[in-house]
Amino acid sequence: MTSRRTTRTVSGHDARASFSKAREFVAAAHDDQNASRWNAAGLAAVHAGICAGDAITISVLGVRSTSPDHAAVIELLGGVEAFGAPQRRQLVGLLSMKNAVAYEQRLLTKTEAKQLVDQAERFLAWAERATQGPLGESR
């Protein structure tokens, strides 16, 4: 079956809002991690990755995914020159844990939560670096 990429054109204001949400989720992930709330930390990290992915596609491409499948952003990010293997691994790692963290009965471990928070931090830091300069300022 061929996947149909579903996007919507959005303004640069939406990129700033998505970056703001991503930063807030990373901060919440740290707070939850420091309080030994592994599941909350993991879910906040996953949401940080989702928001950072949206922020970069909005900032660089002027569009965001409207697909109900959060992994659709990975295809969009393929159009961002700076999106490389490390960023792909970080985002795939976050997205691959979304259902387990949000919907399954298994609880996250401290190690898993730390890995997710670290991935979210690295992905957001990359997204912010990748949107500096002409591409990030053009929208």
How does pLDDT run across 72-111, given as a tens digit for each residue? Answer: 899 899 888 889 999 999 999 999 999 999 999 999 999 9
Residue 107 confidence (pLDDT) = 96
Tell me what percent of the residues of the chain surpass a pLDDT of 90. 74
Residue 12 confidence (pLDDT) = 82
CA distances from 56 to 79, 112, 129 (A): 11, 25, 10
Beta bridge partners of 8: 64
Neighbours of 13 (CB within 10 A): 10
> pLDDT tens digits, residue range 26-48?
999 999 999 999 999 999 999 99
Indicate the pTM of the whole model: 0.88
Residue spans per domain, the chain? 8-131
How many residues can be counted in the chain?
139
Give kind and range of the element (H or E) at residue 76. Answer: helix 72-77
Enter the tokens of residue 94. 């976050």
> Which of these, 21, 16, 19, 42, lies nearest to 30 by C-alpha position?
42
Architecture of the domain whose range is 8-131: Up-down Bundle (1.20)
Q: What span, in angstroms and rounded, lies between the C-alpha atoms of 136 and 139? A: 7
